[in-house]
Amino acid sequence: MNKEDFFEQLNQSELPSVIDFWAPWCGPCRSTKPILDQLAKEFAGKVNFLAINADDHPDLIRELKILGIPTVMTVDGKKQISRMTGAQPPASYRLVFETLAAGDEISAMPVSQRDRFMRLGIGAMLVILAWMYATWWLLPIGLIVMFWGIYDRCPIWRAITGYFKSKVNS
């Protein structure tokens, strides 16, 4: 498939598309491929799934500015919705397919529980260190790291980012 055929196929699809950019030599790609193939079968008819071998289509990889593999991109018609680079937990991929199948908008890529707890823990340690050693410059850094662990669940953050997205898109 050349890049013209690829873009034509996306433009003609009435369904949202999930595109997996992978390579046979890539270890993380080999671990995510069965997950994505299973989800593609499960959501057939609701979500269009394409697997693109990066080695066979280097011009397409350059055109789309794919900087690492595996990369999973979601597209609705001509518009790119989201992009995930690197192996993700199966729950993240499932959430993407479920959200697209339901016709909902992907607002933020999901944060795994492990990442959430790591961010909250590291942020809390920085806040404690700032308090114990009176290094107050660590306090805002710790609070920012903690917020990074919960930002996707914060309604104020969603309202602010939604406002700016609407301004940028209009």
Does 29 qualify as catalytic in the annotation? yes
Residue type, 90: P
**By C-alpha distance, which of 1, 9, 111, 8 is closest to 58?**
1
What number of residues does the chain have?
A: 170
Annotated catalytic residue, options 18, 29, 60, 145: 29
154 classed as catalytic: no
* ∠ Cα 15 169 52 (to 5°): 40
DSSP one-letter code for 36: H
Active-site choice (18, 26, 61, 96): 26
Nearest alpha-carbon partner for 129 in 121, 139, 117, 120: 139
Active site residues: 26, 29
